[in-house]
Amino acid sequence: MSTNNTYVPGLEGIIGAQTAISMVDGANGRLVYQGYVIADLAEEMSFEEVAFLLWEGQLPKRGELEGLTSELAANRDLTNAATTALEALPKDTDPMDVLRSIVSVQGVEHRLAKPTRPLAVHATASFPTILATFHRRRQGLEPLNPRPDLGHAANYLYMMNGKESSPEIVRALNTYLVLLADHGMNASTFTARVIASTESDLTSALVGAIGALKGPAHGGAPSAVIEQLEQIGTPENAEPWMRDARKGGVRFMGFGHRVYRVYDPRAKILKAMCERMNPKFYALASKVEEVALRILHEEHPERPQSTNVEFYSAGVLQAIGLPKEFFTPTFATARVSGWSAHVLEQVAHNRIIRPQSEYIGPEPRKPVPLTERD
**Least distance (Å) from ligand COA to the CB of residue 308?**
4
How far apart are CB 331 and ligand COA at their closest, in Å? 10
Instruction: Name the amino acid, one letter, at 148.
Output: P
Residues at the interface with ligand COA (CB under 6 A) = 10, 216-218, 221, 251-258, 296, 300, 303, 305, 308-310
- Residue 334: phi and psi, rounded to 5, are -75, -50
23 forms bridges with which residues in the sheet? 32
Shortest approach of ligand COA to residue 12 CB, angstroms? Answer: 7
By beta-carbon proximity to ligand COA, the closer residue of 74 and 217 is: 217
Q: Answer positive or negative: Cα dihedral of 80, 120, 320, 99.
A: positive
Between residues 128 and 254, which has the closer beta carbon with respect to ligand COA? Answer: 254
User: CB of 295: closest distance to ligand COA in angstroms?
Assistant: 8
Catalytic residue among 135, 310, 342, 345: 310
Cβ closest to ligand COA, residue 190 vs residue 255: 255
Q: Which residue is nearest to ligand COA (CB)?
A: 256
Q: Which one of 257, 289, 342, 345 is the catalytic residue?
A: 257
To the query of whether residue 257 is one of the catalytic residues in this protein, the response is: yes
Of 119 and 309, the one with the shorter C-beta distance to ligand COA is 309
Distance CA 152, CA 277 (A): 21
Shortest distance in whole angstroms from residue 255 CB to ligand COA:
4
Instruction: Name the residue nearer to ligand COA (CB basis): 310 or 345.
Output: 310
**Nearer CB in complex with ligand COA: 73/253:** 253
Catalytic (active site) residue 310: yes
Shortest spacing between CB 158 and ligand COA, in angstroms:
29
Please say whether the beta carbons of 258 and 189 come within 8 A.
no
Residues with a catalytic annotation lie at 257, 310
